[in-house]
């Protein structure tokens, strides 16, 4: 299987069955050293976990960690997991580009793990798609038949490990190899030797309950307390204990009228889905850009780069305009601004036409995105 065969992969494997893809990179180069990963796990604002295996079970500790924590690790197998490394390391963020045949709104982040010999996180299954890219060392992966919510799990407060695991396939991954695992398929990876690093490119899949709950919360925020049930055509009933069919129909219509507003849902979902994974982190520049500074950068053809921690997507409107969604905010764009929005969504690194400064709407959008830390003009190396 070649990952560059996008149509074949989506047809035969995506959300259907696991598949091993042997080093599609050619001359694979590991973008992050174990020491750099360990350093990230010591920083505030970086989500990290340390899993240790022992005879009496599995232990889990949450970061950030003190550097001396690594010195106290014993000879038992252990694994360090660091979430959203792509937000902090451009070379790791670049790995996602090979997977852009999946829509941006589905992409979550890149988690990176480092494991000592025989280290792993145990047999488990996820509710999302994942590409497991071997970065350094070797790891033996086993996969099993699809699981569901009724699959028995081991008793553990933090780790969702399978009570029983019967593998149906097994592979040893070398650097550059990729194992794709769809949602619900159990998998277990064990390091073969020390210095084993795996890059997990994960994809989001909102649950029905999550969508309904958040969509309803959004609707309720905009409702007035005096928008109430009314029945001016009420007629006497034979039995006052009955909730009549006309009453039920009117009550149901009160709800569905709001729930079925597709345009409102589209705008809400774009904002909801584009909210940053860690919205409390401030990515704003030290000095905000003004119109003169923006004009100078455009005239000099300085490339624009998206913040890897930001989320971009758009919805095309029937009149040719687009709704751009960036970091939980929406922007109505038309004409040159719509083309700009699509260009920024299509690539993480773009060169903009200097003539954009003549468009007040386009330059205003750029200044807003720069000043909220979603994009930045960066000199090339």
For residue 2, what pLDDT is reported?
Answer: 60
Strongest mean pLDDT among 4-13, 73-82, 91-100, 131-140: 131-140
Q: Look over the chain and give the mean of its residue pLDDT values, rounded to a whole number.
A: 92
Q: Which domains does the chain have, with CATH numbers?
A: 6-203 (2.60.120.650), 206-219+257-381 (3.40.366.30)
Which range, 33-47, 48-62, 70-84, is most confident? 33-47
pLDDT band at 322 (very low <50, low <70, confident <90, very high): very high
What tokens appear for 108 in the block? 């979550």
Confidence (pLDDT) at 55:
76
The whole-number pLDDT of residue 193 equals 94
pLDDT of residue 236: 93
> Does pLDDT of 218 surpass 90?
yes
Cβ burial, residue 142 (10 Å; 0-12/13-18/19+): middle
pTM: 0.91
Return the H-helix or E-strand segment holding 263. Answer: helix 262-274
Q: What is the pLDDT of residues 235-280, one digit of tens each?
A: 999 999 999 999 999 999 999 998 999 999 999 999 999 999 999 9
Give dist(CA 258, CA 132) in Å, integer: 41
User: What letter does residue 53 receive in the DSSP assignment?
Assistant: E
Q: Give the per-residue pLDDT at 380.
A: 59
pLDDT of residue 156 exceeding 80, the answer is no
Alpha-carbon separation of residue 340 from 290, 294, 351 (angstroms): 19, 15, 10
Number of H helices, E strands in the chain: 9, 15
Confidence of residue 58 (pLDDT cuts 50, 70, 90): confident
User: Could you read off the pLDDT of 101-151 as tens digits, one per residue?
Assistant: 999 999 999 999 999 999 999 999 999 999 999 999 999 999 999 998 889
Rounded to 5 degrees, φ, ψ at 245 are -60, -45
Task: Quote the pLDDT of residue 282.
Answer: 92
What is residue 350's predicted lDDT score, i.e. its pLDDT?
87
Quick one: what percent of the chain has pLDDT higher than 90? 78
170-214 pLDDT, tens digit per residue, is 999 999 999 999 999 999 999 999 999 999 999 999 999 999 999
| Stretch 222-245: mean pLDDT | 93
Strand order in the sheet with 304-306: 349-350, 304-306, 375-377
pLDDT band at 13 (very low <50, low <70, confident <90, very high): very high
């Amino acid at each position: 299987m070649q990952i560059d065969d996008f149509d074949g992969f989506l047809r035969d494997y995506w959300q259907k069955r696991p598949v091993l893809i042997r080093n599609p990179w050619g001359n694979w180069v590991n973008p992050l050293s174990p020491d750099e990963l360990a350093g990230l796990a010591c920083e505030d604002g970086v989500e990290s976990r340390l899993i240790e295996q022992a005879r009496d079970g599995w232990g889990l500790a949450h970061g950030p960690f003190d550097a001396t924590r690594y010195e106290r690790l014993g000879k038992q197998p252990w694994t360090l997991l660091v979430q959203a490394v792509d937000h902090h390391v451009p070379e790791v963020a670049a790995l996602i580009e090979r997977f852009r045949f999946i829509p941006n709104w589905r992409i979550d982040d890149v988690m990176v793990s480092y494991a000592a010999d025989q280290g792993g996180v145990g047999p488990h299954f996820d509710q999302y798609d994942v590409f497991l890219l071997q970065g350094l060392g070797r790891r033996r992966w086993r996969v099993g038949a699809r699981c569901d919510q009724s699959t028995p799990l081991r008793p553990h407060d933090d780790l969702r490990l399978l009570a029983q695991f019967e593998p149906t396939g097994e592979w040893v991954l070398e650097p550059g190899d990729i194992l794709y695992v769809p949602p619900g398929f159990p998998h277990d990876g064990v390091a073969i030797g020390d210095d084993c690093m795996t890059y997990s490119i994960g994809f989001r899949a909102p649950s029905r309950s999550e969508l309904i709950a958040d969509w309803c919360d959004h609707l309720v925020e905009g409702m007035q307390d005096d928008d109430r049930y009314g029945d001016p055509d009420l007629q006497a009933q034979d039995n006052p204990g009955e909730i009549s069919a006309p009453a039920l129909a009117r009550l149901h219509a009160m709800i569905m009228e709001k729930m079925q507003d597709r345009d409102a849902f589209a705008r809400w979902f774009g904002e909801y889905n584009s909210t940053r994974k860690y919205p409390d982190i401030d990515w704003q520049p030290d000095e905000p850009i003004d119109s003169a500074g923006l004009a100078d950068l455009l005239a000099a053809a300085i490339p624009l780069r998206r913040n890897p921690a930001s989320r971009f997507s758009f919805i095309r409107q029937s009149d040719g305009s687009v709704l751009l969604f960036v970091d939980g905010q929406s922007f109505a764009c038309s004409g040159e601004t719509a083309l700009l929005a699509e260009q920024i969504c299509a690539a993480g690194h773009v060169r903009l036409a200097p003539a954009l400064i003549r468009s007040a709407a386009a330059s205003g959008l750029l200044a807003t995105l720069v000043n909220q830390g979603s994009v930045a003009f960066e000199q090339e190396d």
